[in-house]
Amino acid sequence: MKVAIVGISGAVGQELLRILEERNFPVEELALFGSSRSAGKTYTFRGTSIKVKQLQHNDDFKGIDIAFVSAGGSTSLEFSETITKHGTIMIDNSSAFRMYDDVPLVVPEVNPEDALNRPRGIIANPNCTTIQMVVALKAIEDITHIRKVHVATYQAASGAGAAAMRELENQYKQIVNGEKPTIEKFPYQLAFNLIPQVDVFTENGYTKEELKMHNETRKIMHSNIEVSATCVRVPVMRAHSEATWIETERSVPVEEAREAFAKAEGVVLMDNPDKKEYPMPLDVTGKDEVYVGRIRKDLTNDKGLTFWTVSDQIRKGAALNAIQIAEYLLK
């Protein structure tokens, strides 16, 4: 395979490079692309140093089989034609194309075959919060239909990018040294705080991030499922957590739910309240799976079940999911 990564210097670009190497993805040739700022820098892949090219409207993608694109929505919109015009498959991490009817939105554990129908040559990678949730929901949907979801997210700084992670770390240092914390990447100080806003507000009072969870989940699961989300930024580095409440068509006993999670693809069950065992962001950082714990019946509704998920937002929430899509195409 001839492979390209677009947006190599970002947190997701860097993780894509690492995972291609780790999983021994069949790369014959790797091309790296970035903005004019990162052009000329070099990165090492399997011992070889590769120079970053500036992304331009030319024929650089001719002969490239798969391009992993993680450079922001406006870049994806501007360059999708340049990238796909010679037959390159573009796996896009931005939200630009996710809801287009002719662009599949894919989580390999849930709807892998959707990736086969891609008239534009584009496959969209969902938002991290959605990916994490649908991997867990699939386990239950396989035993009974899920009608409704209420979810509260606890989202790490990494979701806002590498510079945001540095800002959070700096805020702690600045505050400890008695300095005023720098606030550029988040709407407020995040250190010693949390912010009940991820992305911008829409007219109905939900944020864009919250609406993504509703819309993307329905598209991926091919379902009329209703999702109401509250998305919150917390001072955690790179794994998102979600407290999820679901209402199912038939009542699901806790033991049956545990069994379903235990055997679900891409899920690790970590649910042992007696021993204080449940997933936490620090432990799940760097892991591939979605960890599920705190499974219990909802006290207010016999058809309600609640659980807690944690997943590394840069891996399964972004880079790993994109590479798993490519692996599925190679099967």
Q: Quick check: is 231 catalytic?
A: no
CA 136 distance to own-chain centroid:
14
Cβ proximity to ligand HSE: between 185 and 303 the closer is: 185
Q: Which of 57, 86, 128, 214 is catalytic?
A: 128
**Closest listed residue to residue 244, CA positions, set 267, 265, 263, 222:** 267
CB of 167 to ligand HSE, least distance (A): 13
Sheet with 146-155, strands from edge to edge, namely 226-233, 146-155, 239-248, 304-312, 290-297, 267-269
Cβ proximity to ligand HSE: between 77 and 254 the closer is: 77
Q: Quick check: is 240 catalytic?
A: yes
Query: Which stretch, 113-121, 152-160, 165-173, 297-305, contacts ligand HSE (CB under 6 A)?
Result: 152-160
CB of 6 to ligand HSE, least distance (A): 16
In the list 139, 221, 318, 322, the residue contacting ligand HSE (rule: CB under 6 A) is 318
Are 41 and 9 spatial neighbours (Cβ–Cβ below 8 Å)? yes
CB of 103 to ligand HSE, least distance (A): 17
User: Taking CB under 6 A as the rule, does residue 71 contact ligand HSE?
Assistant: no
Query: Which stretch, 2-10, 27-35, 36-44, 155-163, contacts ligand HSE (CB under 6 A)?
Result: 155-163
Q: What is the Cα–Cα distance from 5 to 55, expressed in whole angstroms?
A: 11
Cβ proximity to ligand HSE: between 186 and 308 the closer is: 186
User: Taking CB under 6 A as the rule, does residue 11 contact ligand HSE?
Assistant: no
Q: What is the Cα–Cα distance from 258 to 203, expressed in whole angstroms?
A: 38
How many residues appear in the chain?
Answer: 331
Count residues near ligand HSE (CB under 6 A): 9
Count of C-beta atoms within a 10 Å radius of residue 263: 11
User: Taking CB under 6 A as the rule, does residue 155 contact ligand HSE?
Assistant: yes
Cβ proximity to ligand HSE: between 70 and 80 the closer is: 70
In the list 7, 10, 104, 159, the residue contacting ligand HSE (rule: CB under 6 A) is 159
CA separation, residue 85 to residues 52, 81, 166, 268 (Å): 21, 6, 37, 40
User: Taking CB under 6 A as the rule, does residue 209 contact ligand HSE?
Assistant: yes
Is residue 328 left, alpha or beta, with left meaning phi > 0 and alpha meaning psi from -120 to 50? alpha
Cβ proximity to ligand HSE: between 1 and 234 the closer is: 234
User: Taking CB under 6 A as the rule, does residue 128 contact ligand HSE?
Assistant: yes
CB of 285 to ligand HSE, least distance (A): 14
User: Taking CB under 6 A as the rule, does residue 268 contact ligand HSE?
Assistant: no
Cβ proximity to ligand HSE: between 209 and 289 the closer is: 209
User: Taking CB under 6 A as the rule, does residue 160 contact ligand HSE?
Assistant: yes
Query: Which stretch, 59-67, 141-149, 153-161, 273-281, contacts ligand HSE (CB under 6 A)?
Result: 153-161
User: Taking CB under 6 A as the rule, does residue 247 contact ligand HSE?
Assistant: no
User: Taking CB under 6 A as the rule, does residue 88 contact ligand HSE?
Assistant: no
Judged by the rule CB under 6 A, the positions of this chain that interact with ligand HSE are 127-128, 155, 159-160, 198, 209, 317-318
Residues that are catalytic: 128, 240
